[in-house]
Amino acid sequence: MNELPLNVGLLLSGLLFLTGLLGVLIRRNILFMLMSVEIMFNAAALAFVMAGAHHGQPDGQVMLIFILAMAAAEVAVGLALILQMFRQKRTVDSDNLNQLRD
């Protein structure tokens, strides 16, 4: 089986990263913002795995496992906060987070 060229892999992960970033910037629903952040994490993880395969090292995959665990921890806390927000405001729209301003 032929190895995927590194450039193609990098391009893919770069596109994924941009997709996630756009999602965070455009989406108004906080749940979707969290999902977009997950896509950004996974784009980085994909790049790590690809680079690890390119260099023939296990480090890239080690990084992937750490990133997965980290993302899970972050989402766990994030969902708890969002749940609390839903209880208070009955919405998860980020436009409602507008109390703090100059």
Partner 1 sequence: MVTLNDINALLPEIVLAAGAVIVMLMIAVSRNHVLSNILTQLTFFISFLFLISNPGEPQLSTNLFVADALGKFLSGLILCSAFVITLFSFPYFNIQKEVKEEYYILLILATLGSVCMTISSHFITFVLSLEILSVSLFGLIGYLRHESTSLEAGIKYLVLAAVATSFILFGFALIYTKTGEMSLGGLGAGFNTGVFDFSYLILAGLALTIVGFGFKMALVPFHFWTPDIYSAAPAPVAAFVATISKGAAFVFLLRLFYSIGGLAFGSVWVAFAVIATASMFIGNWLGLRQQNLKRLIAYSSISHLGYLMVGFLSYSIAGIRASAFYLVIYFTSILAAFGLITYLTGKRGEPVMIQDYRGLFWKKPWLAAFFTLILLSLAGIPFTAGFMGKFYVLASGMSTGRIFLLLALVISSTIGLFYYLRVVAVMLVREEPALPEDYIGKQSLALKFLTIGLFALILWLGVFPNTFFNMLGF
Interface with partner 1 (CB under 8 A): 6, 10, 13, 17, 20-21, 24, 30, 33-34, 37, 40-41, 43-45, 47-48, 50-52, 54-55, 57, 59-60, 62-63, 66-67, 70, 73-74, 77-78, 81-82, 84-85, 88-89, 97, 99-102
> With respect to partner 1, which residue has the nearer C-beta, 1 or 68?
68
Asked if 53 and 8 touch (Cβ cutoff 8 Å), the reply is: no
Which amino acid type is present at position 6? L
DSSP class per residue in 31-92: HHHHHHHHHHHHHHHHHHHHHHHHHT-SHHHHHHHHHHHHHHHHHHHHHHHHHHHHHHHS--
Report, in Å, the least distance between residue 56 CB and partner 1.
9
> With respect to partner 1, which residue has the nearer C-beta, 4 or 97?
97
